[in-house]
Amino acid sequence: MHFDENVIRKWAYSTDLDKAVDQFIENDQSGDLFDYEIDRVCTIELVWEFAKDPNCLKQHFFLHRLIDRLCSIYRLPFHTLKPFKSSHLLGIENKQDYLAKVANYAENLYRHNIILNEMLNNDDTVIKYIRNQIYNFIWINPEDSTLLGNEKQNQQPSIQSQYEKAYYSNIQALHKAVSELTDK
């Protein structure tokens, strides 16, 4: 099955493609390919469009994609923004490449924050809940914890690994709460 915006839009607003999508998911050995295809095709703006629309039949699905997308932009971004190649032993990146990477991240971050700002004006209880929880998530994110993440493996867990564990448990709790709110 080939996914593009038209196919995803048709799936989101009808049941015509449900069997084909279910078959695609069943045939996927990894279990992640459908989410990958959605993320590949859908910008954050398109995910938001579906998530906020009560007429979208797959709104629940897109609310959960929205959570993942909004939280992922804040997940230890400075680790990827350091100016070194994959290893500091390989040296520093080319200045233009590094600045392009930083500008690209900043552009994506700004687009995600536009969505968070739009969520402020939405009257949907679930969307307001998601927004508030994501703002809480943003403010507890220890952005500089990557600086302390290089401890030896036989020592106590690093701040980074503790953060990773808390990050995933917070995201899971948010997904569970949204499922409970939308199942009512």
Q: What is the tens place of the pLDDT at every residue in 34-44?
A: 999 999 999 99
E strand or H helix at 59: helix 59-72
pLDDT attached to residue 149: 38
- What average pLDDT does the segment 144-169 reach? 52
Residue 168 vs residues 67, 83, 131, 165: alpha-carbon distances, Å: 12, 27, 17, 5
Residue 43 vs residues 63, 88, 124: alpha-carbon distances, Å: 14, 32, 22
Which of 4-13, 127-136, 167-176 is the least confident region? 167-176
